[in-house]
Chains A and B, each alone.
Chain A
Amino acid sequence: MEHATTLEHTEDIYEPSLTPDSLGKLGMWIFLVGDTMSFGALLAVYAAVRVGAGAIGWVPPSEILGINLTAFMTFLLICSSVTMVKALESIQNGNVSRMCTFLGLTIAGGVIFLGLQVYEWSALIKHGLTLTEIPHHGLSGAAISGSTLFGPAFYTITGFHGLHVTGGVIYLIVILIHGLRGRYTAEFNHEVEIVGLYWHFVDLIWIMVFTFIYLL
């Protein structure tokens, strides 16, 4: 009898074990924390190389990159984050068609972002920014010789982020297809919340990439 009482008491104190939706959410958070380390390591090394090169040994990125275009790309990702939370809000209120519309808009935002990144990369390659060289005109010799790592760093970091956006768009399309088939309801929608976590993370990382690579 006493044993049974103890067990009951224990259940009162401790949280219940992970339910399917909280498990999925926790799994995504753990993945995102790990992914933060990948991006964090790339950005930290970039920052360290940049500081190590000194003020004259590094080209100000704004002289090579187009800030206006990427500011617009940032705006686009912020908008797609808003449509993502709106999709979740809609399904939690039981509105399936509204959720599908907002998911579609989020996917469109991701696809346009990727299109702009392709455009940006091809323009930069034409302009002379490659893995081994940076555009020469108007720059001092010290800056050119010091910034040879700028190309590889730029393409690695923005490319890694672009891959995440690509993965996110595919993930969102899968969720949209499930949504169109009527899988989600006001009670069952944690999968939409989980894809949202991933998508907002991609947005959050872009905020960091935009600041470190383009603005600083």
Chain B
Amino acid sequence: MAGTHHKEHPKYLNIFWWLLGLTIVEVAVAIPDYATVLKAILLIGLACGKAILVANYFMHLKFERKTLALIVITPFLICVFLVFMLMPDLTAASRYEGLKPAAEVVNTSH
């Protein structure tokens, strides 16, 4: 790796302005009151955009081997998977609202 350093650095100040701009947009998107789902999609999208800028340019991921990017993206995918795996448990209460407990159902059948 020594000697193969990318002497040409990206224009870091441009990245800085992008990050600053996206942060301002994020706060502007977060303040008004409107559909939570839309807000969540917008905010998570903006945050991912900022994270990609930091990883690609500040951490130089863009200039590394593609394999490293694949390794780095894996935990993010696992975390998305984790959220979906947790969802059924956490929304169970609202889904079963109004249903009789299993024990009661068994008792009335006798």
Contacts and interface: CB of A to CB of B under 8 A. Distances in A.
A74 B9 contact: no
Nearest to A72: B23
A207 B2 contact: no
B2 A204 contact: no
A21 B5 CA distance: 11
B72 A204 contact: no
Nearest to B30: A215
Nearest to B12: A85
The majority secondary structure among interface residues of chain B is helix
A212 B5 CA distance: 36
A56 B43 CA distance: 20
Contacts of B58: 81-82, 84-85, 196, 200, 203
A37 B73 CA distance: 11
B99 interface: no
Contacts of B1: 19, 21-22, 25, 190
A207 B47 contact: yes
- Residue in A190, A208, A212 with the greatest tally of chain B CB atoms within 10 Å: A208
B26 A78 contact: no
B12 A44 contact: no
A132 interface: no
B105 to A, nearest CB: 25
B87 interface: yes
A19 B43 contact: no
B9 A89 contact: yes
A78 to B, nearest CB: 5
Contacts of B2: 19, 21, 187, 190
Interface in B33-79: 36, 39-40, 43-44, 46-47, 50-51, 54-55, 57-59, 68, 71-72, 74-76, 78-79
A37 B54 contact: no
A214 B26 CA distance: 11
A32 B9 CA distance: 23
CB-CB nearest 7 A-B residue pairs: A52-B90, A40-B79, A48-B86, A211-B47, A215-B30, A22-B1, A36-B75
Given A92-B9, A203-B58, A212-B47, 19 more contacts: A25-B1, A33-B74, A33-B75, A36-B76, A44-B82, A45-B82, A52-B89, A67-B31, A78-B16, A82-B58, A89-B12, A92-B5, A187-B2, A190-B2, A200-B59, A207-B54, A210-B47, A211-B43, A216-B44
